[in-house]
C-alpha cells in the first residue's frame, strides 16, 4: 500500500468513527438562539454554488454542518440573479428569434409570432424557486459566527472549520449610479418590464453580451461600449473576431476603445457622454436603458474579516493557500470571493476540494482547466490556453481548425456558423487549448476538457470513434487537422 493511500485510509476510518447516523446539513434560518449553536465540524457562510455544494459534500462525508445564507433563497448569484435566469431568458428569446427567422426554412409556418414579456419573465422565475433559509453571518472569532436572522432574531453558530463562500457583487463604475430602472446591473437587466427601444451595454464581457443578446432578440437596438480594444479579452483572438462578426450580423453594435465619461438621467431616457479610450473628442449616445456590466467584485461586506485578521488582496479577494485555508487557521474561503475564474462550476469544485481537505482527504482544482462558456448564439466555449497565451510563453505549437460549415449535422440543422480550433504542442502533440464557436459549444467543450485533464494529444482525440452525424465530429476533424489532415475538408 502506498503512503498516500495509507493516509487516505486513516482519514477515512477517522471519519467513519466520527460520523453520526445521518449527518444532515442544517440550513440555518430561525431566530432562536439554540438552533445551530452546538459545535459544528463545518460552518459555511453563503449558500451559493460554492457554499451549498461545500455544505452537501461536508454532510456526505459525515461532518456536522451548518450553512448560513442571508438572501432568503439558496443558490446564490447563480440560481437567483445569474446563470440560471439568464439562460432561461436566452433560451426563450432564442426560440422567439428562431420562430421569426429560421422555422420557415424548415417548413414550419406560423401566421404570426409575438412576445408576452410578462409570461417570459414568469417562466424565467420558475427556473429558480428554492427553499427559504435566511440569516446574515459575521465573524466573532475564527470559530464563531454571529447570525442576524432576517426575521429579526439572533444566534451564534460555532464550528471547528468555517468556510467563507460569500460570492461576489456587481461592480459599479465611478460617477454612474445603478438605480435598476434606467441604469441597471445584470440583475435589473434580467427583470425589465418593457423592451427598451435603445439599450446601451457598458462592458463587452460575457454577461454584457449574453444580456445584450436577450434584448437584441426582443427588438432592442443594442450598442455595446467597451474601453478595451476587444470584446471578451480572455477569448482566443481569432475566435473572438469571428464571434464579434457574428454578433454584428445579429445587429449588435460595438464601440470599442471607448469610455463613458458622463451620464445624464434627467430627461426621459439616459444621455451618455463618451470619448475615445485614449482621450479626444466627446460625443453623446442616447439610450432608454443602460446596462452596467463592467465585472464583479468579491463580496465580504459585514463579515468582519478584519476582526479575526483574514488577509485580502488589493481587489478585496480573500487570500487562500492550495488547501483553500486563509492565513487564519480553521478559516477557509472558496468561489467568487477568492482569486480565480468567477464561475459557478469553479465555485462548486472549490467547495468539494475544500471540504475534502478539511476531512483529511485530497482535493484538487486546476484553474487552467476550467471551461468558460458564453451562452449567446452561437455559443463560444474554451478550455486551456489561447493562441496569444501560448505565443507569449514561447511554446512551439500547431493549430488544427475545422469549420461547422463542413460538419454534416450542423448543415442538416441549418446552424453551421462557427469552428473548432485546437492548439497542441508541436513536439509532443499535447493539447494546450481548445476553442469552439458553435450552437452547443458549451456541451461540446467537455470532451476537450477531459482531453486536457488527461494530458491527451490531439491524435488521441482524433482516434476516438465519434458518432455520426454529430457536432462532436468537428472536434475529431479539428484534432486530425492539428497533427495531419481532416477528412471532410
Ligand X SMILES: Cc1cc2nc3c(=O)[nH]c(=O)nc-3n(C[C@H](O)[C@H](O)[C@H](O)COP(=O)(O)OP(=O)(O)OC[C@H]3O[C@@H](n4cnc5c(N)ncnc54)[C@H](O)[C@@H]3O)c2cc1C
Which spans of this chain sit near ligand X (rule: CB under 6 A)?
Answer: 45-51, 68-71, 76-78, 81-83, 86, 136-137, 165-168, 186, 207, 299, 302-303, 335-336, 342-345, 347, 375
In the complex with ligand X, the residue whose CB is nearer, 232 or 390, is 232
Q: Is 363 annotated as a binding residue?
A: no
> Minimal distance in Å, beta carbon 461 to ligand X?
24
* Gap between the Cα atoms of 338 and 257, Å rounded: 29
Question: Which residue, 357 or 402, is less far from ligand X as judged by CB?
Answer: 357
Q: Give me Rg for the CA atoms of the chain.
A: 24
Q: Counting Cβ atoms within 10 Å, is residue 398 exposed (0-12), middle (13-18) or buried (19+)?
A: middle
Q: Is 166 annotated as a binding residue?
A: yes
CB of 364 to ligand X, least distance (A): 18
Residue 255 CB neighbours (<10 A)? 17
Q: How many CB atoms lie within 10 A of CB 194?
A: 8
How near is the Cβ of 343 to ligand X at its closest, in Å? 4
| Residue 54 marked ligand-binding | no
Establish whether 87 is an annotated binding residue: yes
Answer yes or no: is 206 a known binding residue. Answer: yes
Cα separation values, 135 from 29, 68, 150, Å: 6, 6, 5
Do residues 29 and 132 lie in contact, with contact meaning Cβ atoms separated by under 8 Å?
yes
Least distance in angstroms from the C-beta of 378 to ligand X: 15
> Measuring CA to CA, which residue among 202, 183, 155 is closest to residue 43?
155
DSSP conformation letters of 228-281: SSSSSTTS-HHHHHHHHHHHHHTT-EEE-SEEEEEEE-SSSSEEEEEEETT---
Catalytic residue, from 13, 154, 446, 468: name it.
468
Q: Which is nearer to ligand X, 303 or 432 (CB)?
A: 303
Determine contact, residues 316/305, Cβ cutoff 8 Å: no
Known binder of ligand: residue 336?
A: yes
Q: Which C-beta is closer to ligand X: that of 187 or that of 246?
A: 187
Among 479, 441, 473, 437, CA closest to 457: 479
Q: How far is the CB of 450 from ligand X (least distance, A)?
A: 18
Give the integer Cα–Cα distance in Å for 333 and 325: 7
Q: Closest CB to ligand X among 276 and 341?
A: 341
Compute the least distance from the CB of residue 337 to ligand X, in Å: 6
Nearer to ligand X, 165 or 235 (CB): 165
Q: 280 labelled as ligand-binding?
A: no
97 is catalytic: no
C-alpha grid cell, residue 177: 449610479
How far is residue 343's CA from residue 50's CA, in Å, rounded to a whole number? 10
Binding residue ranges for FAD: 87, 137, 166-168, 336, 342-345
Residues annotated as catalytic (active site), given as ranges: 468
Binding residue ranges for NAD(+): 203-210, 226, 295
Amino acid at each position: 500500500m502506498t503512503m498516500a493511500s495509507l493516509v487516505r485510509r486513516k482519514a477515512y476510518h477517522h471519519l467513519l468513527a466520527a460520523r453520526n447516523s445521518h449527518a444532515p446539513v442544517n440550513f440555518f434560518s430561525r431566530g432562536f438562539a439554540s438552533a445551530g449553536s452546538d459545535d459544528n465540524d463545518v460552518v459555511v457562510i453563503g449558500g451559493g454554488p460554492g457554499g451549498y455544494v461545500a455544505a452537501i459534500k461536508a454532510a456526505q462525508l459525515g461532518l456536522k454542518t451548518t450553512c448560513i445564507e442571508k438572501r432568503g433563497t439558496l443558490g446564490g448569484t447563480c440560481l437567483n440573479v445569474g446563470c440560471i435566469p439568464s439562460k432561461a431568458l436566452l433560451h426563450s428569446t432564442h426560440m422567439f428569434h428562431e420562430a421569426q427567422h429560421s422555422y420557415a426554412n424548415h417548413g414550419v409556418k406560423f401566421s404570426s409570432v409575438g412576445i408576452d414579456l410578462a409570461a417570459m419573465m414568469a417562466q424565467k422565475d420558475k427556473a429558480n424557486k428554492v427553499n427559504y433559509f435566511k440569516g446574515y453571518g459575521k465573524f466573532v472569532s475564527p470559530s464563531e459566527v454571529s447570525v442576524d436572522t432576517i426575521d429579526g432574531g439572533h444566534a451564534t453558530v460555532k464550528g471547528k472549520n468555517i468556510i467563507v463562500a460569500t460570492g461576489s457583487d456587481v461592480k459599479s463604475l465611478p460617477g454612474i449610479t445603478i438605480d435598476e430602472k434606467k441604469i441597471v446591473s445584470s440583475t435589473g437587466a434580467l427583470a425589465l418590464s418593457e423592451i427598451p427601444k435603445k439599450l446601451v451595454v457598458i462592458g463587452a464581457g460575457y454577461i454584457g453580451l449574453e444580456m445584450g443578446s436577450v434584448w437584441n432578440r426582443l427588438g432592442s437596438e443594442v450598442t455595446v461600449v467597451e474601453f478595451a480594444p476587444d470584446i471578451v479579452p480572455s477569448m482566443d483572438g481569432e475566435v473572438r473576431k469571428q464571434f464579434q462578426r457574428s454578433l454584428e450580423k445579429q445587429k449588435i453594435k460595438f464601440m470599442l476603445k471607448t469610455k463613458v465619461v458622463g451620464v445624464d438621467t434627467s430627461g426621459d431616457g439616459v444621455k451618455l457622454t463618451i470619448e475615445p479610450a485614449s482621450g479626444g473628442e466627446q460625443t453623446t449616445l442616447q439610450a432608454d436603458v443602460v446596462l452596467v456590466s463592467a465585472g464583479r467584485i468579491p463580496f465580504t461586506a459585514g463579515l468582519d474579516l478584519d476582526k479575526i485578521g483574514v488577509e485580502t488582496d488589493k481587489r478585496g479577494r480573500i487570500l487562500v493557500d492550495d488547501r483553500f485555508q486563509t492565513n487564519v487557521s480553521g478559516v477557509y474561503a472558496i468561489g467568487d470571493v477568492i482569486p480565480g475564474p468567477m464561475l459557478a462550476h469553479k465555485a462548486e469544485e472549490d467547495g468539494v476540494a475544500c471540504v475534502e481537505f478539511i476531512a483529511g482527504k485530497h482535493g484538487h482544482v486546476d484553474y487552467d482547466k476550467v471551461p468558460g462558456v458564453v451562452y449567446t448564439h452561437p455559443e463560444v466555449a474554451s478550455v486551456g490556453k489561447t493562441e496569444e497565451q501560448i505565443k507569449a510563453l514561447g511554446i512551439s505549437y500547431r493549430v488544427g481548425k475545422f469549420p461547422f460549415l463542413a460538419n454534416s449535422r450542423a448543415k442538416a440543422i441549418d446552424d453551421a456558423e462557427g469552428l473548432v480550433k485546437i492548439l497542441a504542442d508541436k513536439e509532443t502533440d499535447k493539447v494546450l487549448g481548445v476553442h469552439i464557436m458553435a450552437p452547443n459549444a458549451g456541451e461540446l467543450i467537455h470532451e476537450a476538457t477531459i482531453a486536457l485533464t488527461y494530458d491527451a494529444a490531439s491524435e488521441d482525440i482524433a482516434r476516438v470513434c465519434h458518432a455520426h452525424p454529430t457536432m462532436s465530429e468537428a472536434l475529431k476533424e479539428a484534432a486530425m487537422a492539428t497533427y495531419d489532415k481532416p477528412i471532410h475538408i
